[in-house]
Structure 1
Amino acid sequence: MKNVRSVRGMNDILPQETPLWQYLEWQVAAVVSSYGYQEIRLPLVEFTDLFHRGIGEVTDIVEKEMYTFPDRNDESLTLRPEGTAGCVRSVCQHNLAASTTKLWYAGPMFRYERPQKGRQRQFHQIGVESFGVASPDMDAELVCMSARLWESLGLTDQVHLQLNSIGDSGSRQRYREALVAYLNDYVDELDEDSQRRLQTNPMRILDSKNQQTQALLDGAPDLRDYLDPESEAHFSRLQEFLTAAGIAFTVNTRLVRGLDYYNRTVFEWVTDALGAQGTICAGGRYDGLVEQLGGKPVPAAGFAMGMERLVLMLQGLGKVSENPAADIYFVAAGADAEVAALRLAESLRTADSKYHIHCNSGGGSFKSQLKKADRSGARLAVILGDNEVEQNTVGLKQMRSAAGDGQQEVISQQALASRIDELLREH
């Protein structure tokens, strides 16, 4: 029979990898909660119409990348390709935006893309969304919060902020007309995707990765010349806030993002550390989306981070788990010793839950069990045999200490907890 395998682009995160993911999640939770954001947990599946209305019918995500299927009631459902639309749906459904609301979430998203480094069909995002504030100080808070996260992760030197304003709907309409008029003279020189977008979503051409298309855009109209006065003032004030906060940035007038719901501020944190997948965090303002999805008019802004890409960056820095698989490994040979080991391990867990404690299972000689203890990464091995049980003692072996590697001592079982604390603090 054919071996069972995971779906292409939907990968397992194995036990040796999960501590780094947990480290990232803990750092994010600490930073966003310090700014007053609360966690919300959202469904993986939504009605397909939510994404058609929220993301936009002519975006790449809706046109080509969604996992969509009918359920038993013949209603069209979609695995969420991004988090903002579902978060806004929840805010509308539960009337959460009656006052200023700050939310964050984390979890898997799904897009049918060509799998490559940092880009998978099931990928994981952390999203941060704020509702109820229209002024640029909220945009600044989101950028400052993401900058503080890079600092906590040790990534500040590897990322750079790009900013733009795409104005209000009138600004974008005027600019689209000017851009289409310019590009119509070069249709045959555009790449295939840009030729298609010229008729459906021309501003997305600004984000083309095709070098020939980018060269053509050098002579295109500048979006800044079409901004409405209110958007200009909003963007100017945002830059003033960020400068005061000491956050360096570049204004990139071709930055438009790939989702139709954005207005005014858009931003991306980019890196050179991941090759082609240079964007690790992106977001902006989407003041019309709540009303577009059936709620009362509420301004909103947010961002999302790709967890796979952040994990790759942390691995590139040599970041390893600060949370070892085992601190203490119990080695026990003999029926009475196995019972005593279980009792002692449980008493340690009751006294102090901060240690990771493994008990050997399945028997084996002292030698084979000590090999398992070594492979587990444990710093201490607690050793029990018939003699130790009779004498109410244990052997305590230091497995990792440079000063005492391999050193073993015999202590009373009553002294085990305090001696473990002494030794692990020394490490």
Structure 2
Amino acid sequence: MLIQIPRGTYDVLPEDSEVWQKIEETARKVCALFNYKEIRTPIFESTDLFQRGVGDTTDIVQKEMYNFKDRGERSLTLRPEGTASVVRSFVEHKLFGLPNQPAKLYYIGPMFRYERPQSGRTRQFTQFGVEVLGSKDPSVDAEIIALAMTFYKTLGLKKLKLVLNSLGDPESRAAHHEALIAHFKPSIGEFCEDCRNRLEKNPLRILDCKKDHDHPLMKTAPSIIDFLTEPARDYFEKVKGILDEMGIAYELDPTLVRGLDYYNHTTFEIMGSSKGAITTLTGGGRYNGLVSELGGPETPGVGFALSIERLLLALEVENISLKSETSLDCFIAAIGEEAGRKAAVILNELRQAGLRADKDYMDRKVKAQFKQADRDRSGFVIVIGDEELQAQAAKVRNMADGSQEEVAFTELADYLKAKIN
């Protein structure tokens, strides 16, 4: 019986892996520019981490997590997002005690959510995210937004829109909480079961409901902006002011609440095009209470996460290709058994010299070997046959213009490096 890939997952085949590598390389380069260091956390964690960190009233915790028990009957979960794991590591390894503060971290890796698979949304997906732990400076909020925008623009995306909101401080949230209950309670019977269950415990989650997002009461719900305390309003104004001075345009959206419970103060999304529609490419914001919730000291935090899968769709919509024009520097076309042995030796020498090189291993005819070189997007083809063995020199074909030169075997590496550079 043919065993197939699980629903909601995918294979990245060799023809596409170059694009993924380019994206990951760009992420790392941009993070280096902003002085962010990579952190790698386990793919599975204690289930309690996400129940406490993400919020037990969220769709992620209630419906989407992959939970299992190990042989010790411990409840474990495949990580559905990256922030909780990073904060857990920050607390466990006491990174708050290091002299260089704040901790500026980034991660790239797979996440898992049991969702209905659709374009740009899979059950295993890859996130690139950043977290800054230890600073309540509003310029950090602006910095991570600038980092995300720099990443997208470096890859060539132009159709981007930054959407901004504030969820305020605990006092703001408490007042807004009561106003939302008063707003929805008289008609809560018209809403889904999830919304009814969340009314008293966390009414903010109602605004994030996918089933009832078109209900008339959603449009008239009290805005958190109207309940911001003076300090919260001042903080938000500072973030907006820094973005203005950076020249980063944004739109205000008082309904933007994000899907995770740990957010407060600044929250944002970066929108882009996906198959002709506008979709969220990035989401993030502040989470000043999360570190203490997970057992650490009171420590402010802010971060974002973006989906590589949705990024790929946005690149496709804008007709941006990340594939390089050449895959190989050179390909050796050998004619005959003795030439094939010599080609193996020369191939090793070229690779040791830092050249991307390959040869035929299927005993193909010369014409077929040139076709393979063309499929491999090779810049040059080195031809070796009986005549070349006798002269100890190969014919080197430039695949870009069709020109050809004779080059001594001993000089091939230097010749190609000079041509390529």
Corresponding position of 1:361:
361
Q: Which of 407, 411, 421 is the aligned partner of 1:411?
A: 407
Q: Does 1:248 align with 2:249?
A: yes
For the residues of structure 2 that align with 1:305 and 1:201, how far apart are their CA atoms? Answer: 25
For the residues of structure 2 that align with 1:224 and 1:318, how far apart are their CA atoms? Answer: 38
Amino acid at match of 1:97: F
Instruction: Give the Å deviation of 1:395.
Output: 1.6
Alignment of 1:328-407 (within 5 A): 328-351=330-353, 353=354, 355-399=355-399, 401=400, 404-405=401-402, 407=403
Q: Does 1:38 align with 2:6?
A: no
For residues 143-198 of structure 1, what are the alpha-carbon distances to aligned partners after superposition, in whole Å with 9 as ceiling and x for unaligned? 1111222221121x311111111112232122122112111233344356544443
Corresponding position of 1:3:
2
CA contact (8 A) 1:328 1:357 kept: yes
CA contact (8 A) 2:31 2:147 kept: yes
Instruction: Structure 1: state its 5+ residue gaps.
Output: none
Corresponding position of 2:62:
63
Secondary structure of the 1:281 match is strand
Q: CA RMSD in A?
A: 1.9
Corresponding position of 2:296:
295
For the residues of structure 2 that align with 1:123 and 1:161, how far apart are their CA atoms? Answer: 23
Deviates further, 411-420 or 290-299? 411-420
Amino acid at match of 1:412: A
Deviates further, 200-209 or 386-395? 200-209
CA contact (8 A) 1:190 1:213 kept: no
For residues 33-65 of structure 1, what are the alpha-carbon distances to aligned partners after superposition, in whole Å with 9 as ceiling and x for unaligned? 111110111110101111111111111000000
Secondary structure of the 1:74 match is coil
CA contact (8 A) 2:273 2:314 kept: no
Instruction: Give the Å deviation of 1:239.
Output: 0.7
CA contact (8 A) 2:37 2:104 kept: yes
CA shift in 2, pair 1:181/1:276, >3 Å? farther
Alignment of 1:151-300 (within 5 A): 151-155=153-157, 157-190=158-191, 193-209=194-210, 213=214, 215-274=216-275, 278-300=279-301
Secondary structure of the 1:213 match is coil
CA shift in 2, pair 1:235/1:86, >3 Å? same
For the residues of structure 1 that align with 2:240 and 2:271, how far apart are their CA atoms? Answer: 18
CA contact (8 A) 1:324 1:377 kept: yes
Corresponding position of 2:119:
117
Corresponding position of 1:106:
108
Alignment of 1:81-92 (within 5 A): 81-92=80-91
CA contact (8 A) 2:70 2:76 kept: yes
Q: How many residues are aligned here?
A: 417
Secondary structure of the 2:262 match is coil
TM-score (norm 2): 0.94
Secondary structure of the 1:58 match is coil
For the residues of structure 2 that align with 1:295 and 1:178, how far apart are their CA atoms? Answer: 32
For the residues of structure 1 that align with 2:243 and 2:215, how far apart are their CA atoms? Answer: 29
For the residues of structure 2 that align with 1:212 and 1:19, how far apart are their CA atoms? Answer: 39
TM-score (norm 1): 0.92
Secondary structure of the 1:108 match is strand
For the residues of structure 1 that align with 2:325 and 2:366, how far apart are their CA atoms? Answer: 26
CA shift in 2, pair 1:312/1:409, >3 Å? same
Instruction: Give the Å deviation of 1:212.
Output: 6.3
For the residues of structure 2 that align with 1:289 and 1:21, how far apart are their CA atoms? Answer: 31
Amino acid at match of 2:380: L
Amino acid at match of 2:126: H
Amino acid at match of 2:39: I
CA shift in 2, pair 1:4/1:323, >3 Å? farther
Instruction: Give the Å deviation of 1:111.
Output: 0.3
Corresponding position of 1:22:
21
Deviates further, 339-348 or 101-110? 339-348
Secondary structure of the 2:323 match is coil
Deviates further, 285-294 or 135-144? 135-144
CA contact (8 A) 1:37 1:104 kept: yes
CA contact (8 A) 1:206 1:214 kept: no
Deviates further, 263-272 or 80-89? 263-272
CA contact (8 A) 2:22 2:322 kept: no
For the residues of structure 2 that align with 1:212 and 1:387, how far apart are their CA atoms? Answer: 75
For residues 11-39 of structure 1, what are the alpha-carbon distances to aligned partners after superposition, in whole Å with 9 as ceiling and x for unaligned? 11111111111111111111111111101
For the residues of structure 2 that align with 1:420 and 1:190, how far apart are their CA atoms? Answer: 69
Secondary structure of the 2:369 match is helix
Instruction: Give the Å deviation of 1:211.
Output: 7.4
Deviates further, 139-148 or 409-418? 409-418
Secondary structure of the 1:25 match is helix
For the residues of structure 1 that align with 2:263 and 2:113, how far apart are their CA atoms? Answer: 20
For the residues of structure 1 that align with 2:367 and 2:76, how far apart are their CA atoms? Answer: 56
Corresponding position of 1:144:
146
CA contact (8 A) 2:172 2:227 kept: yes
For the residues of structure 1 that align with 2:397 and 2:92, how far apart are their CA atoms? Answer: 58
CA contact (8 A) 1:165 1:265 kept: yes
CA contact (8 A) 1:191 1:213 kept: no
For residues 116-161 of structure 1, what are the alpha-carbon distances to aligned partners after superposition, in whole Å with 9 as ceiling and x for unaligned? 1110000000110011101211111111111222221121x31111
Instruction: Structure 2: state its 5+ residue gaps.
Output: none
For the residues of structure 2 that align with 1:78 and 1:217, how far apart are their CA atoms? Answer: 33
CA contact (8 A) 1:24 1:311 kept: no
CA contact (8 A) 1:158 1:272 kept: yes
CA contact (8 A) 1:263 1:287 kept: yes
For residues 293-327 of structure 1, what are the alpha-carbon distances to aligned partners after superposition, in whole Å with 9 as ceiling and x for unaligned? 01111111111111111122223323131274323
Amino acid at match of 2:282: C
Secondary structure of the 1:278 match is strand
Q: Which of 403, 416, 419 is the aligned partner of 1:420?
A: 416
Secondary structure of the 2:15 match is coil
CA shift in 2, pair 1:272/1:190, >3 Å? farther
